Structure 1
Amino acid sequence: MAGAVTSFGSFLTMIALPLQVKELTGSAFAVGAIGAVQLVPLIVFGLYGGALADAMDRRTLILLTELGLGLLTVLLLVNSLLPHPMLWLLYVVAGLTSALAGIQQPALDALMARIVPHDQLTAAAALNSIRWQLSAIVGPSVAGLIVAFAGLPVAYGLDLLTFVVSTLLAVRLAAAPPAHDAQRPSLAGIWAGARYAWQRKELLGTYAVDMVAMFFAYPNAIFPFLADDLDATWALGLMYAAGSVGSVLVSLTSGWTSRVYRHGRMVAAGAALWGLAMAAAGALPNIWLVLLCLAVAGGADMISGLFRSTLWNQTIPDELRGRLAGIELLSYMTGPQLGQVRAGSMAALTSVRTSVWSGGVACVAAVGLLAASLPKLMAYDSRTNPHALKVRAARAAREASPAAQ
């Protein structure tokens, strides 16, 4: 519930912040540069946040970072009320928000596999996605109306309110202390997690597929300009929400995923379909067809994401889960940030629609090359993979122990 509330508010700001940069500069490159500003803090603090999630109480870490994110929203609200809002402050807040999100997300991700039965992780990922995607639908749709009719300060103010509510709800989370022999966060500990990930070529494959898909085919930063190009500024909120509609439809009908065991193949297939749909969205001139393509893209991304999440959670040992969650964060967050930079730069050099469709085509080609060069990812089978069998056995042993009972 805390996640649903805070996600709704975050999507309000996700619309308001690039729109404010657009209003202040009129530059697609300046809007895309938000992604560049967020990239370095995400890399540094995502890795450190993973080490923290293995070394301290995850509930405490979540609460502290939620409070910090709320304070940053206060800065956005105050800045929007100034006669001449400061552009540089928007970039500073974007970078700090990225840093705190990098610290928080591994702790959130590491909780699921500890409390959900091993064979229900795909279903849990689908349910978790539903609450996030519903916020992604309602948030952008409402944000477009709020910004258009009430202004940026109201959008930021509502986001601040959601942080207050989500923090009060998060207080009710059960404590999630680290293992009794957990080490203090250190570069050596982070390196141990990275070394484990490097040895797991199927894990590396999921990271690589997701990163190239987002790098080439994540044009969200230039949606305001695409809406202008399609003469449909009224549909900006719908453009941001369309992908989430497709994601929710896939999540609500995801019972079939429990009968699929070749997770790596589904990760690649979903990413390729994402690229195809984005290419079509950039080429089509009708706003309703564009919205349909964005919905298809969102559904395809959800298919890839569900099987990525299942593969990760079913094969990573609990004592490494926080650090690996930090690495996972880099894979699924760094790609979109770089994708915003690519989309904005390409739009500035060519045109907005060329940036969108060419990125989709490049995504399909890159995923195809990765699928051909990653045999372990394509051969992964959850029924026979030794890492999945080991984690399943360890989970069963813990549940059968007298301490667990």
Structure 2
Amino acid sequence: MDTSENTRQEREPEHEAPRRRGWRRWAMDTRPLRRPAYRRLWGSTVVTAVGSQLTAVAVPKQIYDITGSSAWVGAASLAGLVPLIVFALWGGAIADTMDRRKLLLITNSGIAVTSLLFWLQAFAGLESVAALMLLLAVQQAFWGLNAPARSASIARLVPADELPAANALGSTVMQTGQVVGPLLAGALIPVIGLPELYLVDALALCVTVWAVYRLPSLPPLAGAVVRRAGVKEIAAGFRYISGHTVLLLSFLADIVAMVLGMPRALFPQLASQTYAPYGEGLALGLLFAAIPVGAVLGGLFSGTFSRARRHGLMVIGAVVAWGVAITGFGLSGNLWVAVAFLALAGVADMVSMVFRGAILLSAATDEMRGRMQGVFTVVVAGGPRLADVLHGTAGSAFGPRIAVAGGGLLVVAVMLVLATAVPALRRYRV
């Protein structure tokens, strides 16, 4: 494979791009897409973002069709979470010890094969919940191995000043997938059937594998000490985080925002009680869609913030803005006002994602980036699930609106205390 162009582009600095004028300065910064290697990685993310949501809808739908029980649907979610956490941590260590392109090829191929097996079991009419949960666990294990290598590779494909723009492009695609994927799945299931939905995902993943194959080799950098990816290397990653205050605070910022301020567990109760006059189904759909839609809008207009150099201050401001928006949502009795506040929270979440991701890629050395992204994957996956437990309990005890508003105020208070007590994050700039 001829990778000379990509390798040269990875290494050679470029002159700073001219300042954009007019409406373009507000729009998404697409400079990273001028780089063929990043464009291929991003293109594979487009396919994965939509395709993964097809399976994310199909699996619970099939489990519910078999059992008629939402409890089994919840158990399947847990079956996927545990391997995701375990293999994301291990995958981060592996990504620091081998060619990341090779790891992406292996894991994307594994995800594609798993989707093909999903199709086979549905096509054969197996109707086995155990088989579905096993396949889901395997798929999430491959995803956990894949995500750290994919994210850690970005810093090798674009220069440091384009990292926020690259993260905005990737995050916007993932958020768009969360909106478009379920809608597409809902439209396709009655037309082509559930088994074929799995097959569409499997075929789409073949495009992802081809795009990854076209990437340049991404071995450990010259001079890096390559070790075996084991428990010691995973532990070394956590020690590295504890010894770098900026990295630690970037993780804590996300934990504060998601655990204290993600109220999705209360959406069904709010839809059936507070917003019932608007129609429970309409209210529920709007509540779940509002944050991803806001995040997509934030990504589309990320030119307004992606060139900022004070990354730590942007994270702090975004988390505080998230808390304020969630508080406003909790205090809103009008559905449309509530949706507007959730959309604003989605914009704040996009800003936070962009700059937290940039901090992880710029503040960590290359031999540690995989492990940092592994921990990042665990935090992103685990935080909202902890929030479900916390908000569900608080909502039952105090009522949903008080629980939501109180959580938002806690986000603001805790983030400001952290930023004041430990100035490293607010002083950090690229």
TM-score (normalizing by structure 1)? 0.79
Show structure 1 runs of 5+ residues with no match: 383-405
Counterpart AA for 1:204: L
Q: Do residues 49 (structure 1) and 87 (structure 2) align?
A: no
Paired position in structure 1 for 2:112: 70
- Corresponding residue to 1:123 among 165, 175, 190: 165
The alpha-carbon distance between structure 1 residues 88 and 177, as it changes in their structure 2 partners (threshold 3 A), is: same
Matches within 5 A, 1:2-401: 2-18=44-60, 24=67, 27=70, 36-77=78-119, 85-146=127-188, 152-180=194-222, 181-220=225-264, 230=276, 231-233=279-281, 239-258=287-306, 260-281=308-329, 284=332, 286-343=334-391, 359-382=407-430
**2: CA distance, partners of 1:352 / 1:79:** 40
**1: CA distance, partners of 2:135 / 2:404:** 27
Instruction: Report the Cα offset of residue 98 of structure 1.
Output: 2.8
Secondary structure of the equivalent of 2:305? helix
**2: CA distance, partners of 1:269 / 1:73:** 40
Counterpart contact for 1:33–1:344, Cα < 8 Å: no
TM-score (normalizing by structure 2)? 0.75
What CA deviation, in whole Å up to 9, does each residue of 1:60-91 have, x standing for no partner?
A: 21122122223333454455568784444454
**1: CA distance, partners of 2:76 / 2:393:** 12
The alpha-carbon distance between structure 1 residues 26 and 342, as it changes in their structure 2 partners (threshold 3 A), is: farther
Instruction: Report the Cα offset of residue 53 of structure 1.
Output: 0.8
**2: CA distance, partners of 1:222 / 1:157:** 34
Secondary structure of the equivalent of 2:96? helix
**2: CA distance, partners of 1:160 / 1:235:** 33
The alpha-carbon distance between structure 1 residues 60 and 352, as it changes in their structure 2 partners (threshold 3 A), is: farther
Secondary structure of the equivalent of 1:55? coil
The alpha-carbon distance between structure 1 residues 144 and 227, as it changes in their structure 2 partners (threshold 3 A), is: farther
**2: CA distance, partners of 1:346 / 1:25:** 28
What CA deviation, in whole Å up to 9, does each residue of 1:200-249 have, x standing for no partner?
A: 11110110110232223334567567656643435766554432322232
**1: CA distance, partners of 2:324 / 2:73:** 25
Identity of aligned residues (%): 38
Instruction: Report the Cα offset of residue 295 of structure 1.
Output: 1.8
RMSD (Å) for aligned C-alpha atoms: 3.4
What CA deviation, in whole Å up to 9, does each residue of 1:318-356 have, x standing for no partner?
A: 122222222222222221333344456666778776765
Identify the range of structure 1 (6-15 vs 108-117) with the bigger mean alpha-carbon deviation: 6-15
Q: How many residues of Structure 1 are paired with residues of Structure 2 in the alignment?
A: 381
**2: CA distance, partners of 1:284 / 1:147:** 35
**1: CA distance, partners of 2:270 / 2:303:** 35
Identify the range of structure 1 (101-110 vs 371-380) with the bigger mean alpha-carbon deviation: 371-380
Instruction: Report the Cα offset of residue 10 of structure 1.
Output: 1.1
Identify the range of structure 1 (68-77 vs 148-157) with the bigger mean alpha-carbon deviation: 148-157
Show structure 2 runs of 5+ residues with no match: 1-42
**1: CA distance, partners of 2:271 / 2:342:** 13
The alpha-carbon distance between structure 1 residues 112 and 341, as it changes in their structure 2 partners (threshold 3 A), is: same
Counterpart contact for 1:51–1:322, Cα < 8 Å: yes
The alpha-carbon distance between structure 1 residues 303 and 32, as it changes in their structure 2 partners (threshold 3 A), is: farther
Counterpart contact for 2:247–2:363, Cα < 8 Å: no
Identify the range of structure 1 (29-38 vs 60-69) with the bigger mean alpha-carbon deviation: 29-38
Counterpart contact for 1:239–1:291, Cα < 8 Å: yes
The alpha-carbon distance between structure 1 residues 214 and 31, as it changes in their structure 2 partners (threshold 3 A), is: farther
Counterpart AA for 1:162: A
The alpha-carbon distance between structure 1 residues 179 and 97, as it changes in their structure 2 partners (threshold 3 A), is: same
Counterpart contact for 2:326–2:404, Cα < 8 Å: yes
The alpha-carbon distance between structure 1 residues 280 and 14, as it changes in their structure 2 partners (threshold 3 A), is: farther
Instruction: Report the Cα offset of residue 150 of structure 1.
Output: 6.3
